[in-house]
Each structure stands twice: as structure tokens, then as C-alpha cells.
Amino acid sequence: MKKTIIIGIAFWLAGLSPAFGADNWPVPEEYNVMDNPVEFNNQNVRAGRDIYDKNCKSCHGDPGNYNALPLVPPPPDAASEIMQANSDGQLYYKITIGRGAMPQFETTLGSDDIWRAITYIRRFDPRNEGKLVEEALRKGKIYALVGNYNSTIDIVAEEELTDNNIPLSNTTIFVRAKKTFGNLLVGSITTDENGRASYAIPQDMKVKSDGQVDFILSLNDDFETVTFSVSGVQVKQPDSNVELPRVLWSTNDRTQIWLLFTYFAALIGGWTVIGYVILQIYKLFRLGRNNKP
């Protein structure tokens, strides 16, 4: 009886120990009092969300949904009490240094980005409830033309107000190039006080053999989604040398011809012989029928 109790207690302790470990993550004194230098506003929360989605979500899950990966010890949900019980500085320390399966982000994220991620985590702090008022999205419009012998994209942006449109000054326009899958951010430019900007197309862009690029312009998240495409910009002369080389391991239209030839020659050759033998069997069958005793 005594023995079973002792064993029972031992198991109970053993079961508790990882939980102990998770709670007890010592943070050096100087971090405890650190303050988040990033202002708590919509823009920074949004930036933090992008960082979180890219670097943390795969393990920690969607904040508030408690769908983190089942690791040991478990990654706490961003909205959980465990997470929110940390001070800003403690969060900063834990994210920077890491522990066990929690990676150390010191080497992969700048301190600005870590602070933005913390800002985003703080958005789920009950104490911050109602602090952020989502502003209504603004309505913008972009027009663009290719100028100066295909070396610039000349942009005009304006904002649609209820009664009239005004030039959209000092606003960032993102320039993306269309790829086979998704779009690649190639640069951005800020409009002047007249809502105008001239984006210089980078001359070292990698392009397809026809030398053409489709550009897509867009505004930032403060605006309703709006894009403007400038298609078929002749960035470079068409160049047949850009053609990807044929390599053995590639897709059917890019693999080397001799390989396809060999494969099909062997296939057809082998099956022709098999077909010939089957024909012989058929001949045997015909003979047998004619030979009926």
C-alpha cells in the first residue's frame, strides 16, 4: 500500500515536471523593465501580424484559437494567459534567446521586427480591449504609364472622397512584378505633393526571354485593395539566350531530347517484340483450330 502511494506520487510529480519547466523560464533582471519602443497603433499591429504569420504561426497557431503544434513543452497561444503574463521585456528576451523547440530569433529577426511581433501579441491582451479603433479604409486610385523609353513607370495617385478626388501625396506605392506563381515585390516609391511619382525600372531585373515584365502597382493597407497593372513592359531586348537549358531531370518539354528518344525507342521496341510473340500465340491458336482431330 505504502509502495503504491509512493509510486503514485512519483508519477504525479513526473507528470507535473514539464509544466513546471514551462512556467519557470527565468529572465535576467534588466529585461523585466524594458519597454516596447514601438507605438501601439493599427499600422504597427498590422506589421506585427505579418511578422507573426511568417515566423511564429507555424508553431503557435492562430491567436485565440489555441491550435498550436503539440510540442513538448507546448508553445503557448498568443492570446493565452501564459503569454500575456509576460512583460514586454520578458517577451523580448524569450523571443530573442529561445529555448528548446522555441527558436532563437536573435539571428533571424531585427529587434524592430521582434518588437512589432510583440505589439501584435499585445493586441490580444485583455487590458488593451477597445484601445484600437479600426479606422475605415480609405479609397484610393492609381494610374500609370510607361515613360522615357521603357525605363520608368510614371504614376498618378488620387484619393476618392465623397464629393471630389484629391491628389494622394506622400503615399507609398508598391511595385510588384508578376511571376509564374505570385508577385514579386521589386520596389516602392513615395508620391510627391501632386500625387505623382516616377518609378525607375531596375536595369538588372531578371526577365523572361521575351524581355517583357508585367508590373502591378498597389497602395498600402490603409486603403481598400486597389491595383493597377502595366502589362508587357519591354524592360530588355528579347534574348533567345535566356532560354533555360535542357536538363535530364526536367519536365517533359525541358528534358533532353535523346532521353525521350531512348525511352520511347526502348518502350516501342520491347512491346513490339511482345506484340510479335502474342501474334505467334494467335497463330498457334489458329493452327490448333484447323488441326482438330
Site for another protein, rule CB under 8 A: 59, 70-71, 101, 103, 248-252, 255, 259-260, 263-264, 266-267, 270-271, 273-274, 276-278, 280-281, 283-285, 287-289, 291-293
Report yes or no: 112 and 92 within 8 Å, Cβ to Cβ.
no
The three-state secondary structure class of 113 is: helix
Rounded to the nearest 5°, which phi and psi values hold at 74?
A: -70, 145
Q: What DSSP element (H or E) covers 166?
A: strand 165-167
- If the CB atoms of residues 58 and 227 are measured against ligand HEC, the closer one turns out to be 58
- Pick one of ligand HEC, another protein, none as the site partner of residue 86 (Cβ within 5 to 8 A by kind): ligand HEC
Instruction: Enter the C-alpha cell of residue 59.
Output: 508553431
- The widest CA-to-CA distance across the chain, in whole angstroms, is 108
Cα 142 from Cα 172, distance rounded (Å): 11
Closest contact distance (angstroms) between CB of 33 and ligand HEC is 17
Cell numbers linked to 233: 513592359
* Contact code string over 106-145 relative to ligand HEC, x by CB under 6 A: -----------x----------------------------
Segment lying near ligand HEC (by CB under 6 A), choices 91-99, 181-189, 223-231, 267-275: 91-99
Q: Please say which residue, 242 or 277, places its beta carbon nearer to another protein.
A: 277
Place of cell 512556467: 23
Residue 103 or 167: the one with the smaller Cβ distance to ligand HEC is: 103
Going by C-alpha positions, the residue among 55, 59, 188 that lies closest to residue 120 is 55
Candidate residues 9, 16, 33, 101; the one interacting with ligand HEC per rule CB under 6 A: 101
